[in-house]
Structure formats: structure tokens, C-alpha cells
Amino acid sequence: MSPPADALASLLAVAIAALISALVTWTSRPLLQRYALARPNARSSHRIPTPQGAGIAVIGATLLVASVWAARANVAIPPALVVATIVIALVGFADDIVSLPVTVRLVLQAACVGAIVFTAPETARIVPALPLALERGLILLAGVWFVNLVNFMDGLDLMTVAEVVPVTAALLLLGWLGDLSWPAALVATTLCGAILGFVPFNKPVAKVFLGDVGSLPIGLLLGWCLLELAWQGQAAAALLLPAYYLADSTITLFRRIARREQFWSAHRSHFYQRATDNGFTVRRVIGEVFALNLMLAVLAIVTVRVGSMTVTLPALLAGAIAVGFVLRRFSRPQVS
């Protein structure tokens, strides 16, 4: 396909995925209201019981449109990715309904991530100097963490939208420019559309949440797209794109471990959660995270297109400073 045809097909895929996601979310809300109600807990930012599980619509639309588009464009999406996404969505759905033990969740998540990592071609490398088994093991650990951190960060209306839309849009652009494999660009495109279809139902005050059935497979799909980018030799861009999520979740995790807290239990220690406790409105938090992610996306694209360490290192530094600035703002009370 020529670039103009690719662009047109991509925009059409975004629109179709958004429409399917919105329709399924709208029609499934009564059932979710009845069987998958999220009641406020120690982690929650909402104050009234709200249905969860709209991730069924988002992931369903993503996989359906991606599969059809892939077949028409003769693009091969790894079967392991599709199967792992469905399995991890089922794990999330079960957890939304009955709350699975932590060990069970982690084992199943590791199995899903491992199915993707260890079926990849041996030529797919990030650090060729490392033994292949060691590199794949480290990617497995990073993948499980990424899946969970996306879940942890899905605790505020539109937060996942503010993260996923800039990242997937940047991945789509890199696909157009030839810097990302078409399977990854295709998945990023349909995920972008599906999450946009979710926006009307999740804007403050949210009428429905993604639930683990959405946040876990979104983390898996997004993590795979970023891994594909790293396998293309663009590790800096793969770190810059999710830098806010990585920083907020990882710093919070280590702080809780240092304080000897039960870091696996529900809490409100993330910077974005502390921001709402410190006087930030939900819309302001989401707006600042979205703006930050747009900046990180621009930096990531620049590092890919220029391809020089004299640009990559300053871009990484600029991204770290920008993320640190936002985290610091979120952690301090607002002056009235």
C-alpha cells in the first residue's frame, strides 16, 4: 500500500474501532451495572458505585478491526499476541467479578507475557551483547510490570485515555514513516480508535470504567507495541513514550516498599491520586498528563527520526525533567 492509502486506511480503522467500542459500551452498560459494579474502596477516586468492564468493548473493537485490517492488508499479527490478549482479558474479567488471589493473577499474567516474548524470533534483540535467555527473561519481568502499572494507573476518569491516545498516535505516525513494523502500527491504530470510543462514557464524572478486563490487555498490547519499537533499535523512544506511567508507578512502588507497606494492596499513593487530594481537579490532572504525553511523544519521534546520540541523550534528559516537574507539582498542595 502507498503512504496515502495507508493514512486513509488508518483513519478509517480509527473511526470504525471507535464506533464499535462506543456501541458495545453503550449496549453493555445495563449488564455491567448489574453484574460488575465497582464499589468505592481505599484506592478509588469515585464516591458512588460505578459499573466496570467497558474494557470488553475496547479490546473487542481493537482485536476485531485489527484482524480484519490485517487480513485485507496481508499483514501478520502474531497469533500469540491475540491469544494472550484474550486470555489476560478473561483473567481481568474474572478479577473484576470475584477478585482473584494475587499469586494467581501474576502467574497467569506472566504466562501471557511469556507466550509473546518467547515466541518472538531470535533475531529480535534490544541488547545483542546479552545472552538471549537473559534478555528475554528481563523483558518478561518488564512486561509483567508494565501490564500491572497500566492497571494501577487506571484510577482516574480519562487517565488511560490521556496516556493511550498520545502513545498510540505516535506509534501510528512512526508506522507511516517506516520506523515501526506494520503489525505494531496496525494494533496501535485500532487501540487508539477503540479508546477514543470509550471517551464519552469515561469523562468526568464517569458512567463506566474499563475494569481489569480493559486495563490489563491494554497494558499487554501497548507493551508489545513498545517492545516492537525497541526491537527496531529505538529503545530511547520506547522509554520516552510511557515515561510518565513508568515514573509514577515505579517511584510509588519503591516508596511503598521502603515504608514496608503492603504494596500489592489498594492505595492512593500514586502521584496522580495525590494530586486530587492536593486540590487538583480531575480535569486539570488529566489535562497536564495529556500535555506531558504529547511532549514525550514529540521527543520520542525526534529521537527516531534524527537517530543521533547527540539528540537522543538531551531528549531523554528533557523527558525526565518534564516528568519530574509534573510529579513534583502533583505531590504538592495547591495554593488557593
Kindly list the domain boundaries of the chain, sorted by start residue.
3-233
Rounded Cα gap, residues 312 and 315, in angstroms: 5
Rounded Cα gap, residues 162 and 258, in angstroms: 29
CB atoms within 10 A of CB 168: 29
Q: Each residue of 315-325: pLDDT tens digit? A: 999 999 999 99
Q: What percent of the chain has pLDDT over 90?
A: 79
User: What's the pLDDT score for residue 1?
Assistant: 42
User: What's the pLDDT score for residue 50?
Assistant: 85
- Across 58-89, b (16+ Cβ under 10 Å) vs e yields bbbbbbbbbeebbeebebebbebbbebbebbb
Is 257 in contact with 263 (CB distance < 8 Å)? yes
Predicted confidence band at 150 (pLDDT cuts at 50, 70, 90)? very high
In the predicted structure, residue 309 carries a pLDDT above the cut 90: yes
Rounded Cα gap, residues 313 and 306, in angstroms: 12
In the predicted structure, residue 2 carries a pLDDT above the cut 50: no
If we measure between CA atoms, which residue out of 27, 26, 30 comes closest to residue 51? Answer: 30
CA atoms within 13 Å, Cβ hemisphere of 151:
28
Is 298 in contact with 292 (CB distance < 8 Å)? no
Q: What percent of the chain has pLDDT over 70?
A: 94
User: What's the pLDDT score for residue 114?
Assistant: 98
User: What's the pLDDT score for residue 138?
Assistant: 98
The CA-atom distances, in angstroms, between 259 and each of 39, 255, 302 are 27, 6, 39
User: What's the pLDDT score for residue 63?
Assistant: 98
Q: Each residue of 287-308: pLDDT tens digit? A: 999 999 999 999 999 999 998 9
Task: Report the mean per-residue pLDDT for the chain.
Answer: 92
Is 95 in contact with 212 (CB distance < 8 Å)? yes
Predicted confidence band at 265 (pLDDT cuts at 50, 70, 90)? low
Q: Each residue of 88-108: pLDDT tens digit? A: 999 999 988 888 888 999 999
